[in-house]
Amino acid sequence: MSAKILDGKAVSARLKDELKEEVATLKQQGIQPGLAVIIVGDDPASRIYVNNKKKACEYIGIHSEEYALPAETTQEELLALVDKLNHKADIHGILCQLPLPKHLDEEAVIAAISPKKDVDAFHPVNVGKIMIGNFDFLPCTPAGVMELIAEAGIEIAGKECVVVGRSNIVGKPQAMLLLHQHGTVTICHSRTKNLAEVCRRADILVAAVGVPELIKGDMIKPGAVVIDVGMNRLPDKKLVGDVDFEAAKEVAGAITPVPGGVGPMTIATLMKNTVRAATIAQ
Ligand code: NDP
């Protein structure tokens, strides 16, 4: 039997419609949420992500400003821009599209963004708040995953959850959010022994690795919920996830497609965070 498809495109469309209404109400109160997006260099994937974020802002009615800087931008120039945006009253959210060119210090740039405008929730203050469970913003991709799981009516409490990947932007916060919802969480990474065996224990399996189709059908417990965060561009330009979708959908109970699964949820959560930032700034 084929798995239920968790349609991130549909859920995110609904979320964006709700936000559009919320923004219309805020505008009547004289509040217009504003997002600044910084992009450094000309990475084609980053350009697509930034364009999608701008399109979502336009749809919802969020004011957006793009700061496209050349690849040779210095650390000082970038920090000066962040400082300017931190003080700009019509900007409530600041997003610096990652990865930055190698000569720039990502950690320092993230730390320079005001935690109140940190709509990616990457600033150490926000990361700490998430750890404690008392937060203003949640990181967009893991929060989007949680929303998708909740929308499908999937219970997390008491379930075996396995997260493959331990990056600061996806794997680690994803594990923390599942833990907040009372999952029993295991985190896997490149040094994990017997990855297949650990994955097969999962009632909820989240793959955030960046290796095309690493998770095979025989690594999935029958009936499991499989969330594929991966977005990998093959040499023939085809976009695939970290899960072998065709094989996995025959074993899983529910699964996210790539594209159309987690990706749209990430953008919807960014929009939600921006509206929230504007609300709490008042
Ligand atoms: P990173 O490269 O930062 O992290 C990858 C993680 O996977 C690391 O923890 C690494 O382990 C682990 N890993 C690598 N190879 C293996 C392996 N063979 N077995 C087990 N673990 C392994 O990636 P990100 O977290 O930034 O992104 C992961 C994927 O998600 C990418 O495809 C990215 O494009 C996608 N992504 C999608 C988003 C969306 O909106 N849908 C948003 C963000 C990312 P170690 O720590 O030991 O090196």
Question: Using one digit for the tens of pLDDT, what is the confidence trace for 36-89?
Answer: 999 999 999 999 999 999 999 999 999 999 999 999 999 999 999 999 999 999
Fold of 140-263: Rossmann fold (3.40.50)
Annotated catalytic, 120?
Answer: yes
- Residue 135 identity (one-letter amino acid): F
- Return the closest-CA partner of residue 34 out of 129, 112, 117: 117
Annotated catalytic, 53?
Answer: yes
Q: Indicate if 140-263 has the same CATH topology as 30-114.
A: yes
Report residue 273 CA to chain centroid gap. 11
- How far away, in angstroms, is 146 Cα from ligand 1 center? 18
- How far away, in angstroms, is 32 Cα from ligand 1 center? 35
On the 0-12 / 13-18 / 19+ scale of CB atoms within 10 A, 53 is buried
Active-site hit among 116, 117, 118, 120: 120
Task: Give yes or no for a contact between 229 and 17, defined as CB atoms under 8 angstroms apart.
Answer: no
Q: Hey, what are 32's tokens?
A: 């217009």
Strand stretches in 165-242, DSSP E:
184-188, 204-207, 225-228, 232-233, 239-240
Task: Give yes or no for a contact between 6 and 224, defined as CB atoms under 8 angstroms apart.
Answer: no
Mutational test site, ligand 1, from 229, 244, 256, max ligand atoms within 8 Å of CB: 229
- How far away, in angstroms, is 169 Cα from ligand 1 center? 9
In this structure, the residue with its CA closest to atom 35 of ligand 1 is 230
Q: Give residue 97's pLDDT.
A: 97
In the chain, domain spans = 30-114, 140-263
Q: Hey, what are 214's tokens?
A: 């690493």
Q: Which atom from ligand 1 is nearest to the alpha carbon of 144?
A: 40
- How far away, in angstroms, is 260 Cα from ligand 1 center? 18
CATH superfamily of 30-114: Leucine Dehydrogenase, chain A, domain 1 (3.40.50.10860)
Q: Give residue 282's pLDDT.
A: 87
The per-residue pLDDT of the chain, averaged, comes to: 97
Mutational test site, ligand 1, from 141, 169, 170, max ligand atoms within 8 Å of CB: 170
Which residue numbers in the chain have pLDDT < 70?
none
Q: Give residue 149's pLDDT.
A: 98
- Return the closest-CA partner of residue 114 out of 86, 75, 133: 86
Whether this model's pTM surpasses 0.75: yes
